[in-house]
Amino acid sequence: MAETEKTPKSVDPATLKMLEKAAQEKISTIFDRAETMKPCNIGEQGTCCKICAQGPCRLPLPKKGIEGEDTRVGLCGATPNTIAARNFARMVAAGAAAHSDHGRVVAEVFLAAARGESKDYTIKDTKKLVQVAKDFDIPVTVKEGDKEVPRDTREIAVELGEKALAEWGRQEGEIYFAKRAPKARYDLWKKLGIIPRGIDREVVEIMHRTHMGVDQDYENIVKQCSRAALADGWAGSMIATELQDILFGSPVPIHGEINLGVLKKDTVNIIVHGHEPLLSEMIVVASRDPEMLKLAESKGAKGITLAGMCCTANEVLMRHGMPIAGNYLQQELAIITGAVDAMVVDVQCIMENIANVATCYHTKIVTTNPRAKMKSGQTVHIEFNEHHALEDAKKIVRTAIENFPNRKAEILIPDEKKMMVAGFTFESINYHLGGTYRGSYVPLNDNIINGRIRGIAGVVGCNNARTMHDSAHLTLVKELLKNDVIVLTTGCNAMACGKAGLLTPEAAKEFCGGGLAEVCEAVGIPPVLHMGSCVDNSRILMAATAVVKAGGLGNDISDLPAAGAAPEWMSEKAISIGQYFVASGVYTIFGVGLPVTGAPVFQDYLFNKLEGIVGGKWDVAVDPYEMAKKMLAHIDKKRKALGIDKARERVLFDMEARRKLAEEEAAA
Ligand code: MSK
């Protein structure tokens, strides 16, 4: 059957064009392998146990389902619930470790910069430095005579760097940022005993508890999942976001372009791919260096195009407006254009196959991180070190420039690219809604209370080759917008939205219900707010906290008419993110499927019982329309509980009106 007669593999025309080129050139991509290799059905159910050498013990659900007592056990007697819970917990541990190890390196570089040991990095956002220092109980003023005067910025930064770094190795007590959460949430965590002690400790404890013959109580395992995931969301990831903002500058709304059409035939094209902005920030500087531009010209190129891929793309977009070449499933395809002179990678979401694809073209894959090397293909390793960061970045850029004359294949760059606005943080949303002098979330809350905005959704996460590329992301987001739900996004969902034109203020008129469109047009914001990379999901936690603190919508994140989703997730990091949203009180729904279906009792605990404990719960819907329906039902449930379900009309409700509504509700 011809390629065009099959179900399309993507909703993105640029991706389809490149898949056609790949087929013509007989290059195997992840899209092909997803067709030929079927997933293991026992692993999919979460009930394959391979944590000791007596297995793997495979406990699939019987075809007819469970009749009577569930007697399935592994060799040691482990039940499907224990096995699925252990597998789930190990995903949380891996995800939390990945985000947090990113955060650790940021904290190390931050400290080196504060101490003046890393000349290429400096403190850029001193206002945020002071704010974050206060959260770490660091004095920001000193006594001079009888006056309190601001403390030396460098001293504050050094103390913050030391205290932040100590969050990884802390053995007792609580992570500092736990107190950033609404008081009711903090008190609940305290009561449940799930406030993380130290980041590394919680991850290690999952690995211990899930070792053969240790924790055999799925509820107790989930408790540790919450602790480790909270250590990710409210510590590892949040520290990464905050220190990156202080080092590189906090993002503000900025224009950028997205999709493979940002590459240029006549310039040196460099793609930075992965997650840590420490490297990409320096490559941005190096690619603008006059010496580099001159070298590019001497090789016959008309300049240097630097574009991002995956979350590194979000980082360089948010702070510099650098273009994005594509999201996770487009990494092989970028190379297939024949126009990428170097793909520079660091950590996470880098497919091993890019090295093989690169051998069919001239593209150099440059690995830069000692934790992530590649064996196959034409890769070079240029280790990136913060003590001579710019020098290393220039070496990498030079490698790309010198490779420009080696282009050999036919070049095909799809025309597709779209404009977008990114760079929203919980602070900049505050500013946009309330203005410089009265920055506040109150106008947002008022519009939720009066019903112009029905609720808030966080839609985030990866692409997954088992589902049509970007399709579930876009269907879900459009359904939510149509129903007046404002969307906060990060990661590969943000990029899918960008490619589809949803990240512009003009999208409000085209895609939103009347109420949401009215608000977005009045404020001049897109209806989908791009808040950054995977670690920046911590910005969504802070935005949710700011909404609670602005008042009128309950006392806790779990009271908000809000829901979270990852329609095309694939990475273990997504499971950690999901768990920290659930443990923060958010109804969180995933597409694709969760590997828990083989353990119905454990699944019921995650999908139902957990809500009565932490206020948030897990859910799954493969169909994005079904997913939207479930999210809207949850949002409406919360609106009802708040007594604002009858307020979906065009009136601004003052306190008196809200009280009246609540009384009417009680009387009904
Ligand atoms: S890059 S973790 S595929 S969002 Fe952060 Fe995209 Fe998921 Fe990687």
pLDDT tens per residue across span 461-483: 999 999 999 999 999 999 999 99
Model pLDDT, residue 664: 53
| CA 179 to ligand 1 center in whole angstroms | 28
DSSP 8-state class, residue 212? T
Q: Is 592 in the pocket of ligand 1 (CB under 6 A)?
A: no
239 token code pair: 């520290």
Q: Is 534 in the pocket of ligand 1 (CB under 6 A)?
A: yes
Ligand 1 atom with the shortest distance to the CA of 275: 5
Residue 163 and residue 248: Cα distance in Å, rounded? 20
Q: Is 328 in the pocket of ligand 1 (CB under 6 A)?
A: yes
DSSP 19-41: HHHHHHTT---HHHHHHHSPPPH
To test the pocket of ligand 1, the residue of 571, 573, 575, 590 to mutate (highest count of ligand atoms within 8 Å of its CB) is 571
Please write the tens of the pLDDT for every residue from 109-123. 999 999 999 889 999
Ligand 1 atom with the shortest distance to the CA of 327: 6
Element (H, E) at 459: strand 455-459
Q: In this predicted structure, which of 373-387, 401-415, 515-529 has the lowest mean pLDDT?
A: 373-387
Residue 582 and residue 597: Cα distance in Å, rounded? 18
Model pLDDT, residue 66: 87
Dihedral pair phi/psi, residue 488, rounded to 5°:
-105, 135
Helices (H), ranges, 124-193: 126-135, 153-169, 183-192
Query: Residue 591: pLDDT band by 50, 70, 90 thresholds?
Result: very high
Residue 212 and residue 288: Cα distance in Å, rounded? 53
Strand order in the sheet with 528-530: 528-530, 485-489, 455-459, 562-566, 587-590, 618-620
| CA 534 to ligand 1 center in whole angstroms | 6
Nearest to residue 15, comparing CAs of 529, 500, 503, 343?
500
Model pLDDT, residue 162: 98
Q: Go through 275-285 and write b for each residue having 16 or more CB atoms within 10 A of its CB, e for each that does not.
A: bbbbbbbbbbb
Yes or no: say if 576 and 228 are a contact pair by the CB < 8 Å rule. Answer: yes
391 token code pair: 């020098």
Q: Is 494 in the pocket of ligand 1 (CB under 6 A)?
A: no
Residue 295 and residue 440: Cα distance in Å, rounded? 49
Is 2's pLDDT higher than 80?
A: no
Yes or no: say if 313 and 345 are a contact pair by the CB < 8 Å rule. Answer: no
Q: What is the mean pLDDT of residues 241-268?
A: 97
Nearest to residue 473, comparing CAs of 29, 9, 53, 11?
11
Please write the tens of the pLDDT for every residue from 6-51. 789 999 999 999 999 999 999 999 999 999 999 999 999 999 999 9
Is 1's pLDDT higher than 70?
A: no
| CA 574 to ligand 1 center in whole angstroms | 8
Query: Residue 668: pLDDT band by 50, 70, 90 thresholds?
Result: very low
Residue 532 and residue 529: Cα distance in Å, rounded? 9
**Mean pLDDT across the chain, nearest whole number?**
94
| CA 538 to ligand 1 center in whole angstroms | 15
484 token code pair: 């007046």
Q: What is the mean pLDDT of residues 155-159?
A: 98
Q: Is 578 in the pocket of ligand 1 (CB under 6 A)?
A: no
Model pLDDT, residue 6: 74
- Residue keyed to tokens 């009792």: 601
Residue 166 and residue 404: Cα distance in Å, rounded? 44
| CA 668 to ligand 1 center in whole angstroms | 47
Is 324's pLDDT higher than 60?
A: yes
Query: Residue 67: pLDDT band by 50, 70, 90 thresholds?
Result: confident
Helices (H), ranges, 415-560: 426-434, 442-449, 471-482, 491-499, 507-511, 514-523, 537-550
Model pLDDT, residue 438: 59
Yes or no: say if 263 and 253 are a contact pair by the CB < 8 Å rule. Answer: no
Strand order in the sheet with 304-309: 379-381, 364-367, 342-345, 268-273, 304-309, 324-326, 254-258, 418-422
Q: What is the mean pLDDT of residues 242-271?
A: 97
Element (H, E) at 655: helix 655-667
Is 651's pLDDT higher than 60?
A: no
Is 653's pLDDT higher than 70?
A: no
Yes or no: say if 333 and 326 are a contact pair by the CB < 8 Å rule. Answer: yes
Q: Is 311 in the pocket of ligand 1 (CB under 6 A)?
A: yes
Q: What is the mean pLDDT of residues 338-348?
A: 97
Model pLDDT, residue 432: 78
| CA 70 to ligand 1 center in whole angstroms | 37
| CA 452 to ligand 1 center in whole angstroms | 32
Alpha-carbon dihedral angle through residues 407, 409, 410, 415, given to the nearest 10 degrees: -70
Query: Residue 659: pLDDT band by 50, 70, 90 thresholds?
Result: low
Is 437's pLDDT higher than 60?
A: no
DSSP 8-state class, residue 369? B
Mapping DSSP to helix (H, G, I), strand (E, B) and coil, where does residue 143 land?
strand
DSSP 8-state class, residue 350? -
For the entire predicted model, the pTM comes to: 0.94
Model pLDDT, residue 435: 57
| CA 489 to ligand 1 center in whole angstroms | 12
Residue 424 and residue 151: Cα distance in Å, rounded? 29
Q: What is the mean pLDDT of residues 551-577?
A: 98
